[in-house]
Chain A
């Protein structure tokens, strides 16, 4: 009875983990990039909007988390709890880490482009590459979720 209950708990954790961890990562990443945007605004006299826009980039991780949660959301049973837990938690951790490091990339891009505005586009490349890895985690979480039994 206890084993079955534990399995069900793990299944529910797996369902909610992508959105929770993705939101945590997005919050941290946006904070880091947002702080850099504020710092850059103290130094320059124009171009504030693009700094603030760039600082919101890590928020996409919470959106990926929401989508994965909807895909995983189903009645939890001992037969599918393990799969839900594995995919949900690992996808969530991937979104969390990607959001934090993307925030750092955005902060560096903001700090670098404040004095050299011409590198703004190129400075976005590292953040875009990190986004690409998060998309891998997102897409293959959806693919793998297709193999989990419905009940």
Chain B
């Protein structure tokens, strides 16, 4: 009946809305320091989940092998080891979303046939997607209502709004499962899931600003080099 992580949760600042903050309310370093209050088993479960969910942030596969195959292997290990239902749900929801996005992207880049026999997705919807590969939304619009809008944005190459939609879907799911969790391990998970979204969204903005800055610098330097040398 007693919550285990009251001190930890009370020491974390509110995150606000997903697209509101220009930077996360708490830095990664400070958050890591606070998370030392976690018990070893909980820390291990969280690390496993983070290892799977942060795959897309890794620029290269450290093992040098096929990334999808390794991700699937890690995912199977996660589901065989972690028993917490909420953590399993959060991970499986993210993987379902990634599987659908992967399928839409593969088809968008011209793959006319499903990638049968390849380790390209995870979860109960892989077979359905492969079966209905030629359908615009793989006949999954009843299960995932956001798939229609996702497919439309992908077709329009509107990647910023696609990413925004993707983040909103995850945020809403976190809101749904957060009900009733305030000071327990689930509350810590939910906070971390929200924080990672805010942190990633803020870093996307920073990356875009850096890219834009470089583009402007290159354009400026280009103009300078076009000036003919004085004779």
- A residues near B (Cβ < 8 Å) are 28, 31-32, 35-40, 42-43, 100, 104, 107-108, 110-111, 114-115
Contacts and interface: CB of A to CB of B under 8 A. Distances in A.
Nearest to B8: A39
B9 A111 contact: yes
Interface string B16-49: 0000000000000000001000000000000000
Contact of A32 (B13, B14, B34, B183): B183
Given A28-B2, A100-B1, A104-B183, A36 B7 contact: yes
Interface residues on chain B, size class: 10 to 19
B179 to A, nearest CB: 14
Contacts of A104: 3, 182-183
A1 B13 CA distance: 63
Interface string B166-205: 0000000000000000110000000000000000000000
25 contacts: A28-B2, A32-B6, A35-B6, A36-B9, A36-B10, A36-B183, A37-B10, A38-B7, A38-B10, A38-B11, A39-B7, A39-B8, A39-B10, A40-B10, A40-B11, A42-B7, A42-B34, A43-B10, A100-B2, A104-B182, A104-B183, A107-B3, A107-B6, A108-B182, A111-B183
A69 B11 CA distance: 39
B217 interface: no
- Going nearest first, the 7 A-B pairs with the smallest beta carbon separation are A39-B10, A39-B11, A35-B6, A36-B10, A39-B7, A42-B11, A35-B7
A110 B9 CA distance: 11
B14 A36 contact: no
A116 B15 CA distance: 13
Interface of B: 1-3, 6-14, 34, 182-183
A115 B13 CA distance: 7
Which of A31, A35, A37, A107 neighbours the largest number of chain B CB atoms within 10 Å of its CB? A35
B11 A43 contact: yes
Contacts of B8: 39
Interface secondary structure of A, over-half rule? helix
A115 B11 contact: no
B180 to A, nearest CB: 11
A107 B181 CA distance: 13
B14 to A, nearest CB: 5
Contacts of B183: 32, 35-36, 104, 107, 111
A111 B10 contact: yes
Given A104-B182, A107-B183, A115-B13, A36 B1 contact: no
A107 B2 contact: no
A110 B34 CA distance: 18
Contacts of B1: 28, 100
A90 to B, nearest CB: 19
Nearest to B16: A115
Contacts of B7: 35-36, 38-39, 42
B9 A32 contact: no
Contacts of B12: 39, 43
A111 B14 CA distance: 9
A36 B12 CA distance: 11
Contacts of B10: 35-40, 43, 107, 110-111, 114
B161 to A, nearest CB: 31
A28 B34 CA distance: 23
A115 to B, nearest CB: 5
A104 B3 CA distance: 9
